[in-house]
Structures are given as C-alpha cells and as structure tokens.
Amino acid sequence: MNRYSLIILGCMAAAILATSCANDAPAPYGPLPTPSQVAWQQMETNMFVHFGPNTFSGKEWGDGTEPEDMFAPDSLDCRQWVRTAKLAGFKGIIITAKHHDGFCLWPNPESVHTVAQSSWRDGKGDVLKELSDACREYGVKFGVYISPWDRHDPHYGTPEYNNVYIRTLQSALTSYGEVFEQWFDGACGEGPNGKRQVYDWPAFNAAVAEMQPGAVIFSDIGPGCRWVGNERGSAGETCWSALDTEGFGSGKDAPSQDTLNTGNVHGRHWIPAESDVSIRPGWFWRESENDKVKSVEDLIGIYYTSVGRNSLMLLNVPPDTSGRIHRTDSIRLMEFRTALDGIFAVNLADGAEAVADNERGRRFRASNLIDGEYDTFWACDDGCLTPSFTLTLPEPRTFNLVVLQEYIPLGQRVSSFAVEARNAGGEWSTIGEGTTIGYKRILRVPDITASEVRVRITSAYACPVLAEAGLYMDNISE
C-alpha cells in the first residue's frame, strides 16, 4: 500500500467516524422515565371511577359503619363505563376498589366488609372482575385505587394492619390481570379505634412492584407518578417531571403543593405529575349534582392545563346508583371528545418546511418535528442550548395553539422557549413564551395568521431534543 492509499484510507476512516458521531443521539440528561412511565405518559387522558357505599349515602367519606347492603347497584354495567371511556378517548380506567370507608368492591378474603357480605347479587358480585373483563374486551387499561386509610378494619392503627393491607393489595393485584396504575391515596385519618396508622410505604411499593412490575405507582411522591398538588386538574405552567423525595413522604409529609405542582428543576427522580379532577363537584355521584357537570369548555381548559402542561388528565366520572354512568356525564364526555378531535384533527403545520439553525446530522433533522412520529426527533449538537427552528407554511394559516413535545426517553431538557410569527409585512414578533415543555406543552396564543412561525429555545440544560411540533386552532374556548 502506498502513501496515497494510506492517506485516502485515513480520510475515509475520519469521514466514517464523523458521520457516526453526527448520527449518535444526544446523551440522556438528568433522571429518565422507565418504559412503563413513557407508555403511561402517552396515555394522556384516563378515567377515574369513584364508586362504592358513598354513591348510595351521598357522602364523600363514609365512616366505615355503613351496612354492606348499602351497596346495591340495580343494573351495574361496567361495559357501559368502558365503552363510554373508550369513545371519550380515555386509554385507562382507575376504580376505587376500596375507599376510606374500607368497603371492598371485590370479595377480598382479608376483609368482612366487601361485596361478598352484601346481598347484592347474593354476595356473588365482583366489580373488579366485571370491570377488568370489560377493559380487556375494549382494549382499555385497568387500574386500581386502594385506600390505605381504612375506617372499618379493626387492625387499623396497629402494625398488623400493614400486613392486612399488603395481603389486600395482593388479592386485588393478582386476580384481575394486568394493572397499569396503582393509586395510593395519602390520606391517613383515624380508624375505628381512634388511632392513625403508620404506613409501611416501602413494603406497599415493593408488594406492587412484585405483583405488577409494569404498574406505575401513584402517590403524593410516586415512585411512578406524583400528585399535581390540587384537585382542579391544573399542573404548573412550569412543570418538571423530576422530583426530590428525600426526607418527604405521602400525606402530611409530602412536599408543598407548589412543589408538587411544578416539580423540582434538578430533581433526582423521574416522577411526573398526574392531575386528578372530577367532572362533578364531588368525587362520588349525587343526584343533586346532575346539573353541575363540568361544561365542555371547562373540560377543554382542564385538558390544556394538565395534558398541555406535561401532566396526565385523570378525569373522575362517577357512576350513579344504578351502576351506570349517568347520561348527563356520558353525553358531556362525547361532546368533550368531539370538541378535542375537532381542534386537533388537523395539524396546521402539515405541509410546512421545517428548517433549524442547528441539526445534529441527518437522522435528527427538523423535518422530524412534523412527521407525526413521536420516536423520530430533531436534536442539536452538544453544547447548542438555544437553537431555533422555523416552519414555513404553504400559505398563511390561522392558529391559536402551539404544541411542542420533547422526546422524554432522553430526559426533560428545555427550560424556556419563545414562539414568533412573521406577518404579511415580513416582520417577526413574539406571540407567546413558555418555560418547560416535557412530554407535551400546549401554549395558547391569540389568534394568529402567519405563514412563518419560529420557535426559539431560549434556555435548556442540555441540547434540545424535540419530537413533535404542531399548530392548531381552537374555535371553542374563550
């Protein structure tokens, strides 16, 4: 081999090296989601179902003395719940298998306060079975809320209760197939003997992890997802999926509601926010609230402040005393979904040319932002923290929502951004600004007609990695 061949070979090797570097995805930044947490976040909207003796007593919190026969739905139809959820676009359902009154909606062998002791269906009924079967039938995921606070169990307030509770978890989590989310309420009030319980959270979490390894565990502080800090369905405009949990617990030991609302910018753990909110004033159904079901506009607003702020929307839709979702609520859900589908049916950025001032090689082109694929993304060179991209639309289009999505398997990286539009006279002006993006950020802006839109990342902790960008028009909300 002569000198020239060597030089040519050397150049080729250098070129291959350079190409492969440019084709490497950026290194992940900060805490990262597990695959289950990514799949969970992509569900976006889920249905919460509060159902139990309170449905019949009209109370929000039963005190545990309710006779089992109080639970008497005359025409329970879980398939109707799941069909309604499915048509409303919900991907999962979480049911209050046991609320604070201790009554179990399944024949829990650890308790004598369950459907098995009631005369409903001669003690042979099992709501969890009927619901999980219906979920499988319709392809909706099944999750459970099992309150640690128990105002009926005589062991409550003693160390033995923790064992009873773990066996209760085992019973619910091993009998009904896959569970996508376990909901731990942080409430810790007094039990029947006036004592409070010292919960063994590590053992509770370990029991869930063992029996349902794919389940995302909700509590005030995770470990799978966290409470958003309010029951209005409103995540912080700044909403980090990261949270510091050292020194904190659930319930009264939780971080401040503000912290839960925004997360911790450099938090050590990936514990995204879930926004639980009821379609009615209360969590349980009451005749007197049939005319207080939230409006479509309210629900769209909640969607923007939950899903649109890097959180999940967990909307409670409580069945009535017949055991069915009341028609007022189901009609409202259909209206809600129709409205959402109308708003998001067409990405007004479709057909645009996407050009960025920095691209990390061909695999990470700005065109990935508008390909409708979450798993392909625009990424920048390491150290490039304030890039921008421009969408040039085929013609002037009118929009009032800007949607951005980070590719969260590589972490949450962006801390602020600005959106600009170019008017007919060719001048650029800022039309909106935001802080965090995360899995999804929906930024509302005034009605804008433009043919060029520029998104400038104004600060980030690592080179931005954005999966999708979209422009939409909401003609419904004020």
- Chain residues binding ligand FUL by CB under 6 A are 60, 185, 187, 276, 283
Q: Which is nearer to ligand FUL, 283 or 364 (CB)?
A: 283
Q: How far is the CB of 467 from ligand FUL (least distance, A)?
A: 31
Q: Which is nearer to ligand FUL, 61 or 138 (CB)?
A: 61
Q: Which amino acid is at 29?
A: Y
Q: Which is nearer to ligand FUL, 220 or 474 (CB)?
A: 220
Q: How far is the CB of 55 from ligand FUL (least distance, A)?
A: 12
List of residues 6+ apart from 253 with CB closer than 8 A: none
CA distance 243 to 287: 40
Q: How far is the CB of 218 from ligand FUL (least distance, A)?
A: 10
Question: Of 282, 316, 145, 299, whose CA–CA distance to 234 is shortest?
Answer: 299
Q: How far is the CB of 106 from ligand FUL (least distance, A)?
A: 18
Q: Which residues face 314 on adjacent strands?
A: 46, 276
DSSP 121: G
Query: Are 279 and 311 spatial neighbours (Cβ–Cβ below 8 Å)?
Result: no
Q: Which residues face 273 on adjacent strands?
A: 226, 311
Q: How far is the CB of 198 from ligand FUL (least distance, A)?
A: 18
Q: How far is the CB of 54 from ligand FUL (least distance, A)?
A: 8
CA distance 15 to 30: 31
Query: Are 305 and 239 spatial neighbours (Cβ–Cβ below 8 Å)?
Result: no
- Lookup: tokens for 186: 């942080």
CA distance 204 to 165: 8
Q: What angle do CA 364, 368, 374 make, to 5 degrees?
A: 105
